[in-house]
Amino acid sequence: MNDIYTFPKDFIWGTATASYQIEGAWNEDGRGPSVWDTFAHTEGKIDDNTTGDKTCDHYHRFKEDVALMKKMGLKNYRLSLSWSRILPEGKGGVNQKGLDFYNDLIDELLAAGITPFITLFHWDLPQALQDAGGWANRETAYLYRDYAEIVTKALGDRVKNWMTHNEPWVHTMCGHFFGNHAPGLTDLKKALQTAHHMLLAHGLAIPVIRKNSKGCRVGLVNNLEWIEPASSSERDKAAAARHDGAFNRWYLDPLFFGSYPQDMMEWYGEDVPQIEAGDMKIISTPMDFLGVNFYTRRIMAHDSQGNFLNCRQVRYPFMRKSDYEEWENNAEGLYRLLIRLKEDYNSPELMITENGTPLQDKIENGEVHDPDRIDYLYRHMGAAWQAIADGVDLKGYFVWSFLDNFEWCLGFTKRFGLVYTDYESGKRIVKDSGRWYEKVLKTNSISL
């Protein structure tokens, strides 16, 4: 197949990372601990018993990393800030050294011709705020607004693309209900309250960001799935609708419609969050774009012995498995999701802010051959191309990830990077997929 698919002229191609996953230097230069430090330092929480203490050591190697990005022809980079590096206690005094790290990083990126896209919160809440109740405490939403004020005042002259949160679903549900992410709680009511306060914080921060970063664009990043029922039975259809409600609509409807989905409000019953007058108006403050992190399609069946939604995930033999146990590689799911967002949410401007796949990459004679990643990226970028052709207002695509890094509760067992990280020596090796992506960037098109 030699077809070539060309993208619109100003299409934004990039890669993404997150602070805790790559920075290391967890207790240097005045950084305070975050919930992820506490969690990873707790025996038994991370699959391979590792932590993000050092990880890619990007804090010390950022110049080398930016130089590599430049060499690869990367023009856009999505990164997140460590709140507790800037405000060790989550509030109060600024740690100037922490802020300067980001000042220097941004200057380095701009000098290399790379546009920064900043996520303010990618799950590493300052531990001091968790000790005061974390996101379940309404106060945290206002402290987040203060943090946004400090950061955008300092960086807003040079940074013009902002994302308030990364994947509120993961932080609320994995962190507060399933307990496999920091802070490791298992309380559905707290999880839903957390989601509400995160969304509130997003709405509160938008005007602050716009005030300090003139002419900027601001959005929120959700992880979204394409969901299908396992059969045409009414029970399976209802189960799929519930999973969609809990996973997708709970984090979309408030932003776009100013209300939580009614079916899920009924399902959750007394676990629904406390909502104060005016909250939904703040949450639905219009944003400039929605960030979409896409990894999988999910097929759901009814199961009264199943999870809290009476659902069970179904796997069929014909599915393309991924190295991430629960995920299916299904690019058509991305296409269908993008069309669905256009139809159900009034054609919002979209950006794919993460997409990628983990593989058991190995170094062979100094190289890393990852044809399956190239295939994955090609198909998903193809899905994005098709969605644009069908009228979806999709402005960009960011590969997860620039380099292999600490994959949360899975530690270093998964490699997602376009660049291989040798954690012992710190050496970076551009994988075949990284070289393939260089071609995509040069030609603004995809082909195999």
Among 251, 408, 420, 436, binds ligand FCB (CB under 6 A): 408
- Write out the two tokens for 189: 């009511």
Among 57, 124, 167, 244, binds ligand FCB (CB under 6 A): 167
- What would the x/- binding string for ligand FCB be over residues 53 to 92, using CB under 6 A? ----------------------------------------
Q: How far is the CB of 186 from ligand FCB (least distance, A)?
A: 20
- Write out the two tokens for 373: 């990643």
Binding-site residue total for ligand FCB (CB under 6 A)?
A: 12
Q: Which residues pair with 359 in a beta bridge?
A: 415
Distance CA 420, CA 405 (A): 9
The region of 165-173, 240-248, 267-275, 422-430 touching ligand FCB under the rule CB under 6 A is 165-173
Question: Which lies closer to ligand FCB via its Cβ, residue 70 or residue 320?
Answer: 320
Residues 203-242 that bind ligand FCB (CB under 6 A): 223
Q: How far is the CB of 166 from ligand FCB (least distance, A)?
A: 5
- What would the x/- binding string for ligand FCB be over residues 412 to 441, using CB under 6 A? ----x-------------------------
CB atoms within 10 A of CB 186: 11
Among 166, 222, 310, 433, binds ligand FCB (CB under 6 A): 166
The phi, psi pair for 77, rounded to 5°, reads -140, 125
Burial classification of residue 168, based on how many CB atoms lie within 10 Å of its CB (0-12 exposed, 13-18 middle, 19 or more buried)? buried
Q: Which of the following is catalytic: 23, 225, 228, 354?
A: 354
The region of 146-154, 162-170, 236-244, 266-274 touching ligand FCB under the rule CB under 6 A is 162-170
Q: Is 270 a catalytic residue?
A: no
Residues 282-321 that bind ligand FCB (CB under 6 A): 293
Q: Is 225 a catalytic residue?
A: no
Closest CA to 96 of 166, 17, 34, 30: 30
Distance CA 333, CA 251 (A): 19
Tell the residue number behind the tokens 């005094």, with chain if given: 93
Which residues 6+ apart lie within 8 Å of 70 measured at CB?
112, 113, 114
- What would the x/- binding string for ligand FCB be over residues 365 to 404, using CB under 6 A? -----------------------------------x----
- Write out the two tokens for 284: 């639905």
Q: How far is the CB of 226 from ligand FCB (least distance, A)?
A: 16
Q: How far is the CB of 331 from ligand FCB (least distance, A)?
A: 17
CB atoms within 10 A of CB 198: 25
Q: How far is the CB of 22 from ligand FCB (least distance, A)?
A: 10
The region of 166-174, 272-280, 339-347, 420-428 touching ligand FCB under the rule CB under 6 A is 166-174
b/e per residue, 81-91, with b = 16+ CB within 10 A?
bbbbbbbbbbb
State the first-to-last Cα distance of the chain, in angstroms, to the nearest integer.
7
The phi, psi pair for 348, rounded to 5°, reads -70, 155
Closest CA to 125 of 32, 251, 247, 209: 32
Q: Left, alpha or beta for 167 (phi > 0: left; psi -120 to 50: alpha)? A: left
Contact 331, 417 (CB under 8 A): no
Q: How far is the CB of 304 from ligand FCB (least distance, A)?
A: 29
Q: Which residues pair with 299 in a beta bridge?
A: 228
DSSP classification of residue 359: B
Q: Which of the following is catalytic: 167, 225, 228, 407?
A: 167
Q: How far is the CB of 317 from ligand FCB (least distance, A)?
A: 25
Residues 7-26 that bind ligand FCB (CB under 6 A): 18, 21
Under rule CB under 6 A, residue 170 binds ligand FCB: yes
Q: Which residues bind ligand FCB (CB under 6 A)?
A: 18, 21, 166-167, 170, 223, 293, 354, 400, 407-408, 416
Residues carrying an active site annotation? 167, 354
